[in-house]
Chains A and B, each alone.
Chain A
Amino acid sequence: MAVPHPRPDPAADAGPAAAAATAPFVSVRDLTVRFVSRDADVKVINGVSFDVLKGEVLCLLGESGSGKSVTMRTLIRLLPPTARLGGTVTIDGIDVLGLPRNDLKRLRGSLAAMIFQEPMTALDPVFTIGQQIGEALVEQKGMSWADARARALQLLELVQIPSARRRLDNYPHELSGGLRQRAMIALALSLSPKLLLADEPTTALDATVQIQVLLLLRELQKELGMATVFVTHDLGVAAEIADRIGVMYAGRLVELGAVAEIMDAPRHPYTEGLMRSTVHAGMRGKVLDAIPGAPPDLADLPPGCAFAPRCRSVREHCLAVEPAAETVGPGRIVRCLRHGDDPAYAASAPLAIG
């Protein structure tokens, strides 16, 4: 983290020309998600916009409840019926939010696949690994069972499961945690998705297994050229796998940029606070520079900037005006009045927090 001269990401450097050459594979604009029930209407995503290019990993980073999973699930509309969506989501030219319900299955299988923290979310306990991957291939790709089994074996080898042939006939519960995670990844890859959605896939794993699975995912993603959205709350994990990072806070994307740039020089006060307070070597004996307070209640967001009650740079202006997303460099977006060209921030009085 303490590299003196940040090398800008070459893709970001090339600017708009490069962006035009590679049209984004995923494009999200002004996404809003509300959960509406008889006695509540909670706005959990409040205007999120980002792109993901082919072959690129975008990490969504943020604390619990900030909206990472909901944002990601919206990409394949894997949300309960109480969800009300606004804005647009385009994947490979398809208008996802306008898609009829019947077409969602195709979207989820061959265009986009999802992997989870808990592999049993995706795996069925009563079928063997081989049966589950085989069935996906037979049903969705029209393969024969013999071909499907051969392909399933290839997939288990691809995710580096030892004694893959034997593992085909194992039930999920017969596998260790790390192998089950790999089997879930194999299942997700079975329909050759162009977009991989990963929701904290290594969070529940042990240190020595987490790094194995993380490196495997990194390898597969490069090899298969999948666009990837990777949700994590762990800065270290993002540093290992992300090309770009999007930092979420209270249902908004507050900072977006190349991984090295964000880690070298965070611009949003929340990102700054997150990095300062993340425990790493060499902090022994020092009081940690924690962010005070707790994330806001999404059902009762304050007016102005949602981070204001915890922000060191808060000024009176922040309580009144909701910061807009500002481009502050090539591919770099920050939602904070301190970085906007709004003279009212500079003119207004600093406030004390804590």
Chain B
Amino acid sequence: MTLAVVPENPRLPVSADPRDRGGPMQPMLLVEDLKKHFPIKGSLFSPSRAVVKAVDGVSFEVAKGETLGIVGESGCGKSTTARLLMHLIQPDAGTIVFDGDPVGVVRGIPVDELQRNMQMVFQDSYASLNPRLPIADSIAFGPKSHGLPKSEARERARDLLGMVGLNPRLFAERYPHELSGGQRQRVNIARALAMHPRLVILDESVSALDKSVEAQVLNLLVSLKDRLSLTYLFISHDLNVVQYVSDRVMVMYLGRVAEIGPVERLYEAPQHPYTRALLSSRPSMDPRRRVSVPPLSGDPPNPVNPPSGCRFRTRCPLAEAVCAEIEPPLAALPAFPAHKVACHAVAAASGHSGTAVPV
């Protein structure tokens, strides 16, 4: 199960990547003001068509070779963001720039080329595999449909199985139902890598795995990233796992970015009241120091009708009048430009009395 026994594969790119276009300083991904509003059916009594503001003005960048973690509660727009980046759904607004090339515009990078460079691994290890195909065929499917000869595609599939720690002699001809959840997730990772992507989006990819297996798959992801010079977007609701894998972390709340910054900084000195609550909602792991009071009450509100001004104000212990009127912009902290927060209590001259002391 360890990677050490897997032979090096000369066919896969290692470091200096010939596909690099923008140079090392050019972010792999630049996302500007991304929006997706889903119309929902009006009922007999309220025929006015409401919308779910699933992603509502999200901007961020991912540097080459880094792992950006995305956290936030269910429904905050993490998966929608991922699907927008993959162009599995069309954005309503916003721009996406991949290694310097705008996506889907004239003289930009075409969507099908983007989709080859960017691959996604989902939570449900079953859903993305064809139950009637041996797993090696599932892995070879992508390269084959992009014109790689059948025998070469099969060869690549077997190499990849070895790379994710599954002996191809034992596993290549197995069907998905003949594998454990952890093994299926390894196959999904192999399948994503078969297209030689540069950016891999991992959407809750280890969330359904048992702890002992989750650790194996995390080790695998970290080592693959080094070997193949990958860039990761790592989406998870598990704050400990995100802390482990990420270089930077983005916290989302109801379709917006609440806070983004380097991982150590965000976990040691969280500034947004939501980030603080989220971090202190983690179980203590120590039966002698149990959590005694829940940091927040209630559930996240409905994204159909988000609160005015700051979306967190209905649950925020620091909310003041200004929070209901003005939506706080995501702004860099003067002392830590890499750390951005969307909260009036942190921003200078925002009209908020400023109870959150920046650390």
Which A residues fall within an 8 A CB radius of B?
1, 3, 7, 63-64, 162, 176-179, 206-212, 214-215, 233-237, 239-240, 242, 259-260, 263, 273-274, 277-281, 283-284, 287-295, 354
Contact = CB atoms under 8 A, between A and B. Distances in A.
Interface stretch (B19-27, B141-149, B214-222): B214-222
Interface centre among A239, A259, A260, A273 (most CB of B within 10 A): A239
A246 to B, nearest CB: 15
A284 B263 contact: yes
Nearest to A213: B294
B185 to A, nearest CB: 11
Contacts, number: 138
A294 B74 CA distance: 29
B240 A280 contact: yes
A179 B302 CA distance: 13
Contact of B287 (A179, A206, A259, A284): A259
Contacts of A277: 211-212, 214-215
A76 to B, nearest CB: 26
Interface in B1-50: 1-2
Interface in B282-314: 282-288, 290-300, 302
A289 B215 CA distance: 7
B180 interface: yes
Contacts of B282: 207, 211, 236
Nearest to A218: B290
Nearest to B71: A207
Contacts of A179: 299
Interface residues of B, number: 49
Contacts of B295: 208, 211
B267 interface: yes
B350 interface: no
Contacts of B215: 277-279, 288-291
A211 B283 contact: yes
Contacts of B281: 207-208, 210-211
B17 to A, nearest CB: 24
B73 A260 contact: no
Given A277-B212, A354-B2, A288 B291 contact: no
A289 B211 CA distance: 11
Nearest to A176: B299
B213 interface: yes
B243 interface: yes
Contacts of A235: 211, 285
